[in-house]
Structure 1
Amino acid sequence: MNSQTPLTQGHPDLASSQDPAQSRLRIEQAIWNDSERDSEREQILSLLTEHGVALADRTTMPGHLTGSALVVNNAGTHVLLLFHSKLQRWLQPGGHADGDHELAAVALREATEETGIEGLAVLLPAVDVDIHRIPALGDMDSHLHLDLRFVVLAPEGATVSGNHESEALRWVTPQELAELTDEPGLVRLCTAGLEALEQYRGGGQA
């Protein structure tokens, strides 16, 4: 795992970008051991070639870029899930790029807004990618989220407050996560994220 020191909000390497080359870079740099993820990576890169800068706009159809975060506690034993108010299921924090092609910054921003935790830091590169369908809600038709996923580290003693997008937040172990959800993408993200963190802290960043 060629990881670098986790980055906090405001770091120059997380500067907002309207250049689709930046999202392409983050997607290409992502590391995993899963051939299906390779296939989804290629699908997203193809859509990025087709739509360019517009792929970071939430109105772009049939889908658009999103960034999400596996928020892990300082000890590396628990991950933070939220119970999404609209979708009514347990999810990791994340959301729309809203024009920003720096997807690591998107994931960090969404994690900060949705958990209320100050001092979060994102670990590069991304550890997972997932293409999933969002059901029609209100005026929005059903569409695809092209989601690049990162490990985000919480500082010791982190205080969780949440926001209007979730009904509850809960720190869970991997075993407890499996009891809360059978959504394969979330279970896979938890496994990949904790493995990446273990490798980073074990010296795999060299």
Structure 2
Amino acid sequence: MDRTILKSQLERYRTPYEEESAFIDSFIDLTSDPLAYKRERLEGHFTASAWIVNRRRTHTLLTLHRKLGRWLQLGGHADGDENLIEVAMKEAKEESGLTSLDLVDSTIFDLDKHIIPERPHVPEHYHFDVRYILEADINEPLHISDESISLAWITFDSVVDMIGYNPSILRMLEKTSKSEILL
């Protein structure tokens, strides 16, 4: 996948969620920026995430992110790689140690544009996060990377209790419950 394929997928992407559809055009516009896939684009850049679920669709794998101190899906920076599916897979493997990861669908599962707070030597900026759904064996041992404080398989019923109010994670959870491709 490259920026042409991503742009085409974004142009076809439809969602019933107003907060998600509000920023699709900004994702499309970003595909034409030569720095879109690099951290050096200080206004914002593409990232890729993996919404990892077990094969029975009862749990999702979340990480307690070391820098942000919040429970999130696994993912990270593209660092110049225009194949965001590969980025999501690579980040999921690196951050979890899982080898049983399978891509459920090569189409975009979810989009989220969110602000990343300022840190030393890094100004506040946006992540244009393209998300894909993966499944994994819930019984495979997890290996916590340096980017995480913890990793945990969370039952769908417990996600809200664990993360609090995070509309983008709640949206992915709802999509998982409703999606026909997952049955």
**What's the TM-score, normalizing by structure 1?**
0.81
Partner of 1:86: 67
Contact 1:81 1:171 in 2 (8 A): yes
The answer to whether 1:21 aligns with 2:30 is no
Letter in 2 for 1:38: S
Q: Structure 1, residues 39-81: CA drift from partner, whole Å, max 9, x if none?
A: 21111111223x1x31001111310000101110121100011
Could you tell me which runs of 5 or more consecutive residues in structure 1 were left unpaired when the two chains were aligned: 1-16
- Measured against aligned partners, the alpha-carbon deviations of 1:13-41 in whole angstroms (never above 9, x if no partner) come to xxxx5x42133234335453223322211
Matches within 5 A, 1:88-167: 88-124=69-105, 125-155=107-137, 157-167=139-149
Q: 1:32 is aligned with what amino acid? A: T
Q: Secondary structure at the match of 2:172?
A: helix
Against the structure 1 CA distance between its residues 201 and 174, is the aligned structure 2 distance closer, same or farther, given a 3 Å change threshold?
Answer: closer
Matched, 1:195 2:175: no
User: What's the offset of the Cα at 1:151?
Assistant: 0.8
Instruction: Return the letter of the residue paired with 1:172.
Output: I
The one-letter code sitting in structure 2 at the alignment partner of 1:105 is E
Tell me the equivalent position of 2:53. 72
Cross-structure match for 1:48: 31
Contact 1:127 1:193 (8 Å CA) reproduced: no
Cα deviation 1:72-122 (Å, max 9, x = unaligned): 012110001110111111111010011111111111111111111002112
CA–CA separation in structure 2 for the residues paired with 1:194 and 1:96? 27
Query: Are residues 185 and 85 of structure 1, via their aligned partners in 2, closer, same or farther at CA, if it must alter by over 3 Å?
Result: same
Residues 110 and 80 (structure 1), Cα distance of their counterparts in 2 relative to 1, 3 Å cut? same
State whether residues 79 and 172 of structure 1, in contact with CA within 8 Å, keep that contact through their aligned partners in structure 2: yes
Paired-residue identity, %: 31
Give the SS at the match of 2:109. Answer: strand
CA RMSD of aligned residues (A): 1.7
Q: Deviations 1:138-190 (Å, cap 9, x if unpaired)?
A: 21111000001111110363221121100111111122110122111111112
CA contact (8 A) 1:30 1:127 kept: no
- Report the equivalent of 1:171: 153
Structure 2: which 5+ runs fail to align? none
Residue matched to 1:14: none
TM-score after normalising by structure 2: 0.90
Confirm or deny: 8 A CA contact 2:176 2:182 kept in the other structure: no
Q: Which structure shows the bigger proportion of residues in helix conformation?
A: 1
Q: Give distance in 2, aligned partners of 1:121 and 1:29.
A: 24
